[in-house]
């Protein structure tokens, strides 16, 4: 089976590729060919036992999508995007990458005769817009309040329609905010949710730009990989015409995050968080959803953490070799 991961140099793409390299599988399906694509050449999964291809590819460039699809991969995982803050700051770039690139990929699949792969599309909670009920169900209307969210809604609708027409067998997964993200901060408006935990757990000071009562929906990188693996191999008959699903997660305030950090790593670690309000970030995050009823996703077999302490413990185990900061 041939697996193509587009956006493989990003955090989730790298982790998925490394998982496939270790297990030789995605979900319950054996992988013998793994193609990793991104705008920079991916470096992950060097030890994959099967055939590995790493390619530099920009979906917005003519012919790129056709080149990637020419090998007719059985499963296509589409993670390539620019994140929320950058898409809001650069309108043209956001639409070019998040919408035009997605349309180019889907059309390359559509125009390949006798070919209808499983396509896993990475969407976002940004497809929803305020005002919200206390708990948001899967059938809540899609009225995004950012350009990024609008681009993701368009991608979801394309996925639904192309799947309905039989061009692909699509599953759209609306990721929670993935926390704690390892590595360097990115340009996502949500980046501080990871930063206020990651930096202190690495013995560094972190900046908190919003109030502690800000509440949001979270899951770990480990869960993110699990979502993709399940979406790649699940029976899609249960989805019907509603191909996009909000993933399980943990609803927590920033205060809850800090409390969990203190419980896991102690007061000295939590004290490394510095309050520095940023009205722009606060405005963007203030329009985001806070809590979800994800019974549909759970019924379909998707799983995530059940407490924020568990999310921190996953980071310590996966990224810090189980070792907490001293002091």
Tokens of 322: 């189980």
Round to whole Å and give the CA distance between 139 and 296: 10
Q: Which of 95, 115, 121, 148 is catalytic?
A: 148
Q: What single DSSP character describes residue 116?
A: -
Domains along the sequence of the chain with CATH? 2-177+220-246 (3.40.50.720)
The pLDDT profile of the chain, 327 residues, written as one tens digit per residue, is 999 999 999 999 999 999 999 999 999 999 999 999 999 999 999 999 999 999 999 999 999 999 999 999 999 999 999 988 788 889 999 999 999 999 999 999 999 999 999 999 999 998 998 899 999 998 899 999 889 999 999 999 999 999 999 999 999 999 999 999 998 777 777 889 999 999 999 999 999 999 999 999 999 999 999 999 999 999 999 999 999 999 999 999 999 999 999 999 999 999 999 999 999 888 888 778 899 999 999 999 999 999 999 999 999 999 999 988 775
**CB-CB contact of 140 with 133 (8 Å):** yes
Round to whole Å and give the CA distance between 144 and 154: 11
Active site residue 148: yes
């Amino acid at each position: 089976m041939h697996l193509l991961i587009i956006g493989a140099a990003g955090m989730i793409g790298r982790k998925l590729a490394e998982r496939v390299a270790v297990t030789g599988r995605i979900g319950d399906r054996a992988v013998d060919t793994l193609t990793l694509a991104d705008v920079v050449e991916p470096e992950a999964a060097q030890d994959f036992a099967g055939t590995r291809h790493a390619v530099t590819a920009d979906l917005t460039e003519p012919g790129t999508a056709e080149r990637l699809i020419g090998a007719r991969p059985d499963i296509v995982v589409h993670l390539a995007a620019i994140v929320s803050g950058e898409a809001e700051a650069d309108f043209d770039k956001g639409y070019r990458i998040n919408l035009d690139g997605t349309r180019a990929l889907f059309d390359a699949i559509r125009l390949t005769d006798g070919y209808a792969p499983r396509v896993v599309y990475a969407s976002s909670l940004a497809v929803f817009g305020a005002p919200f009920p206390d708990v948001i169900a899967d059938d809540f209307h899609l009225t995004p309040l950012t350009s990024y969210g609008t681009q993701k809604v368009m991608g979801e609708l394309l996925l639904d329609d192309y799947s309905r027409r039989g061009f692909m067998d699509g599953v759209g997964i609306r990721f929670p905010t993935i926390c704690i993200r390892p590595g360097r901060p990115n340009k996502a408006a949500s980046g501080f949710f990871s930063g206020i935990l990651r930096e202190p757990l690495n013995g560094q000071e972190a900046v908190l730009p919003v109030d502690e009562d800000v509440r949001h929906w979270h899951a770990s990188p480990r869960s993110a990989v699990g979502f993709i693996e399940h979406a790649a191999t699940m029976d899609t008959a249960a989805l019907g015409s509603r191909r996009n699903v909000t993933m399980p997660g943990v609803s927590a305030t920033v205060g809850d995050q800090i409390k969990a950090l203190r419980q896991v790593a102690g007061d000295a670690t939590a004290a490394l968080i510095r309050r520095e309000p940023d009205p722009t970030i606060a405005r963007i995050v203030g329009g985001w959803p806070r809590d979800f009823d994800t019974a549909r996703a759970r019924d379909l077999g998707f799983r995530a953490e059940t407490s924020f302490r568990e999310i921190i413990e996953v980071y310590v185990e996966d990224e810090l070799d189980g070792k907490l900061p001293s002091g």
